[in-house]
Amino acid sequence: MDRKHIGLIYAGGTVGMAMTAQGYAPMPGFSAALAALLTSYGDALPDYTLHAYPAPIDSANATPKDWQTIARDIAARYQDYDGFVVLHGTDTMAYTAAALSFMLQGLRKPVIVTGSQIPLSAARSDAPQNLAAALQLAASDAINEVTIYFNGLLLRGNRATKTSTERMAAFDSPNYPPLAEVGIQTRLNMPALLPRAAAERFALPDYGTPLILPLRFVPGLPAAALRAMFDLDPAAVVLQCYGAGNAPDRDPALLDMLARANERGTVVVACSQAMHGQVAIGTYAAGAGMTAAGVIGARDMTFEAVFAKLHHLLALGLAPDALRAEFLRDLSGELSV
């Protein structure tokens, strides 16, 4: 049987950094250090070809244009490899993975996004284990979606969120089970994996720069804060609500602003500040007014998936009503049906 060949894209992140007097910065000679590490595993890993971006970025600086660059690079090389591994910084890894899942719908091979909490060049780095496991998983015929691999867990990319800055277990998937657990053995959770699609359905529109604004409700938040946000005429607003999608309803001006924004074509989405569970607007009377104002609930999507999905649907040029309908449809396993 032929050895699998993996496309390894180095976009940036802690994995390829080294400590300098100014803090972590891209290390010189990363490609050589990476090759030395992976060669040491011999036949335990599939073949790979490295595609290193000339200017690796700290993921805190990543933008939707960077998501688009990675997706288009994968699409352009799609026929050349059996799977892909993307090396990426942890800060915005979940945003990138979610966005890739919407651009690369109908994947028929693995795309594994990974990185590390500690640079490859440092003692006790978690990079070697993450890299080796990600490459092995990228050679699996059972995985046909965008995922995040980190510290022994393979997670659906658009279901993952970063939960720790200090632990090696930096990511979790609050509302969906892991796709695989990697220990002494690799155990794939076959029922949780997306089925192999009949054909790829890639959509790679120009992401542009639509204004999508988040607002987190806190006790006593003045309506003027929301008014200032809507005065910017955003394409979409994500309300981070309490519990199952509740927002304060004592101030009728707030609900009036939401209704007016909806009428102007601004898409308003309510997600929950809680990590686990679904948004069900109207479960409590305090949230019922939002439904009447045209706010749609994010169900059990992560904030990262909500933000990336709005960018993707806006880039497709959908009218507000069509966008609202498509937002509530499961595109790549990002929400429970």
β partners of residue 52: 10
**14 labelled catalytic:** yes
- β-pairing, 180-182 vs 5-12, is unpaired
Angle between helices 127-137 and 30-39 (to 10 degrees): 70
**Catalytic residue (choose from 14, 114, 266, 302):** 14
Token pair, residue 104, equals: 């690369």
Sequence-ordered alpha helix ranges (H) in the chain? 30-39, 64-76, 93-103, 127-137, 223-230, 252-264, 285-292, 303-315, 320-327
Runs of H (alpha helix) within 138-284: 223-230, 252-264
d(CA 213, CA 135): 36
Determine the Cα–Cα distance for residues 326 and 310; give it in Å rounded to an integer: 10
- CA dist list (Å): 9 to 137, 239, 300, 312: 15, 34, 30, 22
Strands 267-272 and 23-26: unpaired
Active site residues: 14
